[in-house]
Structure 1
């Protein structure tokens, strides 16, 4: 793969890679750093990219793996800070957020596998087989995680949804 081919492929993927990294890391700077690190790794191993069946899935999988590594390191170093942030978010503060912000907040509180599956399916628009390839899980597992994640979000938003449709 030549430099110009690499640049063209990565430039097409850059925004999607960033959104995916952000959905995992929940921090813009960390997501940008993650994408930059992955792009550097991909460049160093560009000879492997020609063998990838689906380059988009390969890149997303590389971002996912890197982000989980970052999260593991952050958890070891900042476990206390993360707990303080989660505990500091009280119900009155959440009620003041508009519906979209509340949805984002609640989406980020879903278990990782549900959050990733729902984000990839409902926000990024991937089909179940693509998500299965990206997350390296069976299609049935992805369907279960999407279903459970959606059910939790619907349960949290029952009142807002009821008011919206009346």
Structure 2
């Protein structure tokens, strides 16, 4: 792999790698460090890259491993950050609507963070990043049926928690 190929094949992945790393470490600077270390590793292994079938999956796997290493090596404080833009509205929302939406998104992020690690990772990769089941199985080095099972369980638990919260007090 030369510099030009690195720029065209690897650098465009940095935003996906960052989002994935951030979902694991919950810290912007730490996630940036993880992505930078991943890029360095890819560059160092540039001679071996031609033997890798799916470069993107391999980069995601490296990112996951480096992020988990960071969490193990440091006691990172996790924060509740869940920023989603809903810009499909035709008119501006009132402060009350914005506050309610923000509260709901924070609650959803709290419930996602409460999921077991594997379920949270699979949900992030499938529902947020949009990877296929096969790609997720390759990235996490697990069977495709385990990917489907973890995703099903994560979605079901999230749905049940939201229904339980919303039905409380009725």
Q: State the TM-score, normalized to the length of structure 2.
A: 0.79
Task: Note the alpha carbon deviations across 1:90-120, whole angstroms, 9 max, x for none.
Answer: xxxxx99521222122212211100001111
**Which protein is richer in helix relative to its size?**
1
Instruction: Report deviation, 1:19.
Output: 0.7
Aligned to 2:31: 31
Tell me, in whole angstroms, the C-alpha distance in 2 between the residues paired with 1:48 and 1:21: 23
Structure 1 stretches of 4+ moved >4 Å: 159-162
- 1:15-164, aligned counterparts within 5 Å? 15-74=15-74, 78=75, 97-158=102-163
Tell me, in whole angstroms, the C-alpha distance in 2 between the residues paired with 1:29 and 1:104: 20
The residue matched to 1:50 in structure 2 has which SS? helix
Tell me, in whole angstroms, the C-alpha distance in 1 between the residues paired with 2:155 and 2:136: 16
Unaligned runs of 5+ residues in structure 1 are 87-94
Task: Note the alpha carbon deviations across 1:24-63, whole angstroms, 9 max, x for none.
Answer: 1111111111000111111111111111101110111110
Unaligned runs of 5+ residues in structure 2 are 81-99
Q: State the TM-score, normalized to the length of structure 1.
A: 0.81
Tell me, in whole angstroms, the C-alpha distance in 2 between the residues paired with 1:161 and 1:2: 54
Task: Note the alpha carbon deviations across 1:115-145, whole angstroms, 9 max, x for none.
Answer: 0011111111111111100100001111111
Tell me, in whole angstroms, the C-alpha distance in 2 between the residues paired with 1:117 and 1:142: 7
The residue matched to 1:157 in structure 2 has which SS? helix
